[in-house]
């Protein structure tokens, strides 16, 4: 199966080699009291929005020059990159907000800059900025998840005819197709995609914007700030706005749930690739810029790192919940520590998602071993029993008895049921005919299971089409992506679609 090697995949492969080091360096920066440097440009946008509101409210009507000077100063600050900011002596400032205000003063004068501090609240400023940052972080997570869902759906399509034991740690369970397993993973990711979609809508609400816990008597229209910053509405209670840090805890808890699911999937894939099973292996990357995927050991190291990150995010979630619960009041919350945990959580989850996409890009089934394992006599118990119930009049009790006799005979002779002679089977029960061989063929048995949750390829393909359709629809509805070239062509299901 040919899979399109698009930008995200190229980035992923390059990322695997050096992402761990870069993440650790970034996380070290997060530990200091200026962890909110990653909110720098959001703070600038908030100050710009407040400036617009102040002019609308009439506070700057008498001095247009003040508006222009502050706007120009904020524009200069907005053009700075993170590396440029980090080169400056930030240790002189208590936080990034203080740095921005001091820079505006330096570019204008104290009397001009003081307008920015009218009804200013550091707590509220941080709350708004972190909500903006989480909105973009959620967009990024949904973006990668969308690519993963399409990647796994592509794997499901190409592995519909590969039979494996229904449970890897119990080969007595009826055989299913690898594609059936793959689509179950895709559905798991879709559920979390949908959860993050709802989360993004729920928390797209701006704190009150009044700059105090009890509102303000000044004529200030916070809706102006909300519109400028692309929030859907404004909170109606200032005390609620000040005390509401649920966007951070909800984001981290949602990330924890997703990370846990990814960890479980990776653990199962790890089990599949063990020497005594080896039902799957990992092919070398097609990317010319990557050294990843040269051996199973490389893939296993990556899987171990994903599982490790999953456990780390669980610890972050517990830490954040402790910070929020133990705070005596909203103003005593350590937002620098809260932000550090937030950024660490996102960095680790992003790493996990990109690495997971890599794993599903290079995964390959060992057809010989999977077929052999899927022909375990005990695994056909349910299929043989159902065949007797549908094709004979033996009744349930007698059907169970005959089914057990067939399985025991195959085990006794160390023989696959599908290779047993028909006459030998008829000695067990004369009602048996050649039709029974369909029930003991892993692929034909899988095709026959046409219940709504069954393993039939028809059912699996319906789920694939459902996911493709939902990804196209949700791209427009939830990711607000107007670029129609990014839509997935269902005719090209054998190619893994990705967001560039």
**Taking residues 181-186, what's their average pLDDT?**
86
What does 310-336 look like in DSSP terms, one character per residue?
HHHHHHHHHHHHHHHHH-SSGGGS-HH
Asked if residues 197 and 208 have their Cβ atoms less than 8 Å apart, the reply is: no
Look over the chain and give the mean of its residue pLDDT values, rounded to a whole number. Answer: 75
Distance CA 324, CA 460 (A): 44
The 10 Å Cβ neighbour count of residue 304 is: 13
- As a residue count, the chain comes to 500
CA 162 to chain CA mean position, Å: 27
Contact 282, 362 (CB under 8 A): yes
Q: What is the pLDDT of residue 144?
A: 94
Lowest-pLDDT range of 189-198, 389-398, 446-455: 446-455
Name the percent of the chain lying above pLDDT 70: 72
Give the closest residue to 35 by CA, choosing from 339, 328, 472. 339
Q: What is the DSSP letter of 330?
A: G
Structure tokens belonging to residue 38: 């990653």
Q: For residues 229 and 206, is the Cβ–Cβ distance under 8 A? A: yes
DSSP conformation class of 173 = S
Whether the predicted pLDDT of 94 surpasses 80: no
Domains defined along the chain, listed by start? 32-119+218-228 (1.10.275), 122-207+244-367 (1.20.200.10), 376-439 (1.10.40.30)
Amino acid 355: pLDDT: 92
- Is pLDDT above 50 for 30? no
Q: What pLDDT was estimated at residue 310?
A: 93
Instruction: Kindly report the number of other CB atoms within 10 A of residue 396's CB atom.
Output: 10
Query: Which range is most confident: 236-250, 341-355, 398-412, 442-456?
Result: 341-355
The rounded distance, in Å, linking the Cα atoms of 372 and 353 is 33
pLDDT in tens, 275-302: 556 777 787 654 444 444 446 778 888 9
343-359 residue pLDDT tens: 999 999 999 999 999 88
Task: Output the six-digit token pair for 149.
Answer: 């869902």
Rounded to two decimals, what is the model's pTM?
0.76
Distances, alpha carbon 188 to alpha carbons 91, 120, 128, 271, 467, in Å: 45, 43, 31, 19, 11
- Contacts of residue 65, defined as CB under 8 A and 6 or more positions apart, other chains included, come to none
The predicted-structure confidence for 163-181, as pLDDT tens digits, reads as follows: 776 655 544 456 677 788 8
Q: What pLDDT is attached to residue 483?
A: 40
> Given pLDDT bands bounded at 50, 70 and 90, which one contains residue 264?
very high
More confident residue, 114 or 61: 114
Confidence at 92, pLDDT banded by 50, 70, 90: confident
């Amino acid at each position: 199966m040919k899979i399109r090697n698009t930008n995200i995949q190229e980035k992923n492969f390059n990322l695997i080699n050096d992402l761990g080091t870069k993440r650790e360096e970034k996380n070290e920066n997060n530990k200091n009291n200026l962890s909110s440097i990653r909110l720098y440009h959001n703070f600038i946008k908030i100050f710009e929005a407040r400036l617009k509101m102040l002019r609308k409210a009439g506070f700057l009507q008498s001095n247009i020059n003040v508006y222009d000077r502050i706007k120009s100063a904020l524009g200069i600050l907005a053009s700075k990159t993170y590396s440029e900011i980090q080169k400056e002596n930030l240790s002189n400032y208590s936080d990034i907000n203080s740095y921005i205000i001091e820079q505006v003063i330096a570019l204008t004068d104290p009397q001009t800059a003081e307008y920015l501090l009218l009804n200013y609240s550091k707590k509220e400023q941080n709350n708004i900025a972190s909500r903006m940052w989480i909105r973009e972080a959620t967009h990024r997570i949904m973006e990668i998840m969308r690519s993963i869902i399409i990647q796994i759906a592509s794997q499901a399509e190409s592995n519909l005819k590969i039979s494996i034991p229904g449970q890897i740690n119990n080969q007595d369970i009826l055989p299913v197709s690898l594609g059936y397993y793959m689509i179950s993973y895709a559905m798991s990711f879709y559920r979390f995609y949908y959860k993050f979609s709802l989360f993004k809508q729920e928390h797209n609400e701006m704190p009150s914007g009044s700059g105090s816990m009890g509102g303000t008597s000044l004529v200030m229209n916070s809706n102006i700030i909300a519109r400028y910053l692309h929030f859907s509405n404004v909170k109606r209670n200032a005390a609620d706005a000040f005390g509401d840090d649920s966007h951070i805890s909800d984001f981290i808890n949602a990330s924890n749930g997703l990370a846990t699911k990814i960890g479980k999937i990776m653990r199962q894939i790890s089990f599949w690739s063990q020497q005594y099973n080896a039902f799957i292996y990992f092919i070398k990357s097609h990317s010319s810029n990557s050294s990843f995927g040269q051996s199973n050991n490389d893939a296993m190291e990556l899987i171990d790192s994903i599982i490790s990150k999953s456990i780390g995010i669980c610890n972050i979630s517990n830490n954040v919940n402790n910070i929020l619960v133990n705070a005596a009041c909203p103003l005593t919350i350590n937002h620098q520590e809260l932000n550090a945990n937030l950024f660490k959580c996102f960095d680790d989850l992003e790493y996990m998602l990109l690495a997971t996409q890599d794993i599903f890009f290079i995964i390959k089934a060992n057809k010989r071993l999977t077929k052999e394992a899927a022909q375990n006599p005990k695994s056909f118990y349910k299929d043989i029993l159902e065949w007797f119930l549908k094709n004979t009049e033996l009744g349930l009790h007698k059907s169970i008895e005959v089914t057990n006799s067939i399985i025991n005979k195959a085990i006794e002779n160390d023989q696959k049921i599908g290779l047993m002679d028909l006459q030998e089977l008829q000695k067990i029960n004369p009602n048996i005919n050649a039709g029974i061989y369909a029930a003991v063929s892993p692929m034909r048995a899988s095709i026959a299971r046409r219940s709504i949750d069954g393993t039939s390829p028809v059912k699996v393909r319906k789920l694939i089409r459902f996911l493709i359709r939902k990804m196209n629809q949700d791209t427009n509805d939830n990711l607000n992506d107007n670029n129609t070239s990014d839509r997935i062509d269902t005719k090209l299901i054998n190619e893994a679609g990705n967001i560039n």
